Amino acid sequence: MKIYTNDDVSPDAFKGERIAIIGYGSQGRAHASNLKDSGADVVVGLRAGGAGEVKAKQDGHTVLSVADACKDATIIAILTPDMTHADLYKDVIEPNAPKGVAILFAHGFSVLYGRVIPRADMDVILVAPKGPGDLVRREYQRGRGVPSLFAVDRDVSGKASTKALGYARGIGGTIGGVIETTFKEETETDLFGEQAVLCGGTTELVLMGFETLVEAGYRPEIAYFECLHELKLIVDLLYEGGFEKMHSFVSETCKYGDLVSGPRIINEETRERMREVLNDIQSGDFARDWILENMAGRPRYNALMRQDLDHQIEHVGKDLRSRMSWLQNKQAVDA
């Protein structure tokens, strides 16, 4: 497997490009700032009067309307939420995008599921850092980089890969290492990871563990510490050094319980449910459901979110976290 680094990508790879960053959320802010600091010609396209416009101007960017940002661009990076892409592209970007421009995404959802069908003259590329925007920015400022993925869905110019890799270098990705993928692989694995493991799977595991202890008569505060609070300690060890580091830092008793009880909780039935989730993603059923949910005003989404945020573990957690001085200090710094 080829991993692209600074040695493979010229620092002048984006020379002559005008990059329009559309959106100034977590990723948009990081990409725009990193590219600008790398010497790229960057403009930011935003809705007038919004909070993003104020932030972008404070950060020293040239801010234009989305239409005007697109007009002279050679790369247009669409970094707004997925569900905004279809109308934004159709109504504003396509009518103002020059012929031969490259359209860049940080996630392949809109292209894979046909929400955006770029004009035939456009290169269609993807650059996806494997981390949130604040990490992408913070690591760049430290002279480091977050590993990234890149993909080419359509190469009209014959230079689509060069454009994608140049962009990846500009945001710091080639310091962390960049791996080539496809829109399909990036989208389906990203959605699966979020649903089955990182968010959906983890939060449900935490909730069930918490509820099991509380139902058995243990105090919710103790259950919170054991099932949620200490999760970060284990995840950090896994993140830093995989299973080996995690096992080297926990007790022998913990390791034995891990090895004999883990497979009783996460087992073949769990794997079968994961396959069902993956099938829903691969078939497009999840995408269709999410698109229709948005069109209907998100009634199910809102109800499920309220249910999540009103759970006992949230009320207990807020009280306990308010007593953790290191978390209060972190929030002050982040703000």
The pLDDT tens digits for 254-263 are 999 999 999 9
pLDDT band (50, 70, 90) for residue 330:
low
pLDDT band (50, 70, 90) for residue 241:
very high
Q: Is the pLDDT confidence value at 332 over 50?
A: no
CA-to-CA distance for 32 and 44, rounded, in angstroms?
7
Helix pair angle (299-309, 285-295), 10° resolution? 90
Q: Return all residues near 60 (Cβ < 8 A) that are at least 6 apart.
A: 36
pTM listed for this prediction:
0.93
pLDDT band (50, 70, 90) for residue 335:
very low
Output the pLDDT for position 313.
Answer: 97
**Mean pLDDT calculated for residue range 3-30:** 95
- Please, what is the Cα angle at 184 between 27 and 171, to 5 degrees? 25
The model's pLDDT over 63-92, given as tens digits with 9 standing for 90+, comes to 999 999 999 999 999 999 999 999 999 999
Q: Is 107 a catalytic residue?
A: yes
% residues pLDDT > 90 (the chain): 93
Q: Is the pLDDT confidence value at 202 over 70?
A: yes
Q: Name the average pLDDT for the chain.
A: 95
Structure token pair of residue 279: 């099938």
Q: Do residues 110 and 291 lie in contact, with contact meaning Cβ atoms separated by under 8 Å?
A: no
3-state secondary structure of 27: helix
Rg (CA), the chain: 22
**Mean pLDDT calculated for residue range 133-150:** 96
The model's pLDDT over 220-236, given as tens digits with 9 standing for 90+, comes to 999 999 999 999 999 99
Structure token pair of residue 265: 């909780």
CA-to-CA distance for 195 and 193, rounded, in angstroms?
6
Output the pLDDT for position 331.
Answer: 53
CA-to-CA distance for 145 and 175, rounded, in angstroms?
5
Name which of 136, 134, 130 is nearest 150 in CA terms. 130
190 is in an annotated binding site: yes
Least confident of 11-15, 105-109, 260-264: 11-15
Longest dimension (CA), the chain: 67
CA-to-CA distance for 85 and 116, rounded, in angstroms?
7
Domains and CATH numbers, the chain: 3-181 (3.40.50.720), 199-266+298-328 (no CATH)
Name the residue type at position 179: I
* Residue at token pair 């456009």: 122
Catalytic residue among 85, 107, 229, 247: 107
Alpha-carbon distance values, 176 to 4, 228, 232, 254, 307 (Å)? 9, 30, 23, 33, 38
Q: Is the pLDDT confidence value at 41 over 70?
A: yes
226 is in an annotated binding site: yes
pLDDT band (50, 70, 90) for residue 55:
very high
Name which of 64, 319, 283, 294 is nearest 184 in CA terms. 283
230 is in an annotated binding site: yes
25 is in an annotated binding site: yes
Residues present in the chain in total: 335
Cβ neighbours around 220 below 10 Å, total: 18
